[in-house]
Structure 1
Amino acid sequence: MNIIEAIYKRKSIRKYVPYNISQSDFGDVENLVNNVQSLYSEIQMKITLIKEGIKIQEISKGIIGSYGKIEAPHYMVITSEEKEGYLENIGYTLEQIVLELADRGIGTCYIGGSIKKELLKDIMEIPSNQKPIIVVAFGYPANEPELEIKELENFKRKALEDIIIGNYEEKFREIFNLVRVAPSAINLQPWRLYVNENSIDLYANKGNILTKGLSHFSELDSGIALKHLELGCKERNITFEIKNQKLEDKKNLKYITSVML
């Protein structure tokens, strides 16, 4: 996978062709799901592929997200234990899959919102210690050019100085731009990166009076941003280690983890 191209191709696809992806492509998705690396291996999570999308569409009133009802040929339903770090674990894990699919010309869309466990009981098996957290729609985009590479200036995002705090070498600018274009709930970009001499500390905005209802997505979105940061470092051959230093929260910011350089 060309990670730079995949990141600049990816976008939330809301309309899909009304037929299944090929058997070969679906097999590739299964392989990705079965082998993807999570952030915290000690947190149990499960990604269930729903091949017959109509099953999710029939209960979609219970999983309507930021974009409203998304009708796709296939879906992923993600369940997890509710432990410290479980949301960023999900975001980090899913984004690897989402980018791999974008590279293959398969569109995706994160669908948030509260998912009632009882709605899914006849569709899939949910471990007793887990609950459904998020759904990802996937399939071929109805509009083929939608997964073409976009230029950085065509992304509507916060300026780098709004999300990156501290001084950094020029080699990190491209990496931080990869983080800058990461997807987030209603494009809030809740992550903040504090750059130090030997580390980058990741925090999530806790939200204001208007966005408190989306605060749980801040941590999931920060996991997505962390994946972009990791992939950018790998692309630049920068040695790093993800390590939770258990730092204190800052005003209106929750500490997530650190990347040790």
Structure 2
Amino acid sequence: MRGGDEMTQLYEQLFRRKSFHRFTKPFKPLTTEQLDTVKQYFSLCEPLVENIRTLLCIVPVGQTTCRQGEYALLLYSERRDGYLQNIGYLGEQLNLFLTKENIGACWYGMGKPKEREYEGLHFVCMLCIANQDEGCFRTKEAKLNRLDAKDIWEGEDAYHLAPVVRMAPSACNTQPWLVKEQDNTLSVHRVFRKRGIIPPSLVPYYQSIDIGIFLFFLEVAMEQAGLPYKRTLLLQEPVHTGPVLTATYLVNI
């Protein structure tokens, strides 16, 4: 589990973060020191899946198809079992760090860089970023377009985690997750609810990244609640359609 101070800071950012589909202008240019700090933080992020090589490349948004923000954070990875979930898990750690630093960010799923490969790794996804004033971020009182907690959680939610994890971002706000709680076990499933503008063939791709984001939200919420857990990942997906079991957590062990 993460250190107390670090975990508390991450937990607080769950409520502050927002997806900046439009950045408030004018914004102060990001400094070299800020960008170096972002790179350093990513190098220290905890992976979901060990031994998958990943890299972060920061480029001006003009070098991508994105037209929002100032810079794009390009996430590259080896293609191995769980690499999409891993990128979501890593990228959301970065997203919450950016929020703490008052750097606005948005997962820009359909964006493409000029370099589709970088040092032998494949481009997976990007975030666009720009400095934003502190008041531009979400407050706990702000309205949030999310499913009700009861719609993403089956079981009694004994530890009151659902109201927190329902805030997780997802591509086109599809919210492709369902947690089933039984005894002291949480089973996290990737489910299809809608696809928005995502091409049908790419739905599993983006929603696998989303599940990685969700797992990080869930773990931060559990750690804030002081709940020890043992995680088991299921990374080889079945060929059938329907709910895909992604991870189980034995809680309060």
TM bracket, shorter-chain basis? 0.7 to 0.9
Whether the 8 Å contact between 2:195 and 2:203 is mirrored in structure 1 is no
SS at match of 2:118: coil
**Alpha-carbon distance in 2 for matches of 1:168, 1:148:** 25
Aligned pairs for 1:66-105 within 5 A: 69-70=67-68, 72-105=69-102
Whether the 8 Å contact between 1:87 and 1:223 is mirrored in structure 2 is yes
Pair 247,27 (structure 1): closer, same or farther in 2 beyond 3 Å: closer
Correspondence for 1:109: 106
Q: Structure 1: which amino acid aligns with 2:62?
A: Q
**Alpha-carbon distance in 2 for matches of 1:132, 1:19:** 28
- Find 1:197's aligned residue among 165, 168, 183: 183
Whether the 8 Å contact between 1:207 and 1:252 is mirrored in structure 2 is no
Pair 147,246 (structure 1): closer, same or farther in 2 beyond 3 Å: closer
Correspondence for 1:131: 122
For each residue in 1:170-208, what CA deviation from the matched residue of structure 2 results, as whole angstroms up to 9, or x when unmatched?
xx22x2222100101111110111112122111112456
Shift of 1:245: 5.4
- Find 1:215's aligned residue among 196, 204, 211: 204
**Alpha-carbon distance in 1 for matches of 2:219, 2:50:** 17
Deviates more, 1:179-188 or 1:14-23: 14-23
Structure 1, unaligned runs of 5 or more: none
- Find 1:225's aligned residue among 191, 214, 221: 214
Shift of 1:58: 4.1
Correspondence for 2:246: 256
TM-score, normalised to structure 1, is 0.81
**Alpha-carbon distance in 2 for matches of 1:256, 1:216:** 14
Q: Structure 2: which amino acid aligns with 1:4?
A: Y
**Alpha-carbon distance in 2 for matches of 1:246, 1:214:** 17
For each residue in 1:58-80, what CA deviation from the matched residue of structure 2 results, as whole angstroms up to 9, or x when unmatched?
441xxx5xxxx32x222210111
Correspondence for 2:18: 11
Pair 144,208 (structure 1): closer, same or farther in 2 beyond 3 Å: closer
Indicate whether 1:43 and 2:38 are aligned: no
Shift of 1:231: 0.4
**Alpha-carbon distance in 2 for matches of 1:209, 1:246:** 22
SS at match of 1:120: coil
TM-score, normalised to structure 2, is 0.84
Indicate whether 1:184 and 2:170 are aligned: yes
Correspondence for 1:164: 153
Correspondence for 1:140: 131
**Alpha-carbon distance in 2 for matches of 1:247, 1:89:** 13
Whether the 8 Å contact between 1:207 and 1:215 is mirrored in structure 2 is no
Q: Structure 1: which amino acid aligns with 2:124?
A: I
Correspondence for 1:120: 115
SS at match of 2:203: helix
Q: Structure 2: which amino acid aligns with 1:253?
A: P
Pair 75,115 (structure 1): closer, same or farther in 2 beyond 3 Å: closer
SS at match of 2:190: strand
Shift of 1:5: 2.4
SS at match of 2:172: helix
Shift of 1:159: 1.0
For each residue in 1:68-110, what CA deviation from the matched residue of structure 2 results, as whole angstroms up to 9, or x when unmatched?
x32x222210111222211111111111111111012111111
Deviates more, 1:205-214 or 1:29-38: 205-214
Correspondence for 2:62: 57
Shift of 1:19: 4.2
**Alpha-carbon distance in 2 for matches of 1:204, 1:137:** 25
Shift of 1:18: 5.0
Task: Provide the alpha-carbon RMSD of the alignment.
Answer: 2.5
Q: Structure 2: which amino acid aligns with 1:95?
A: E
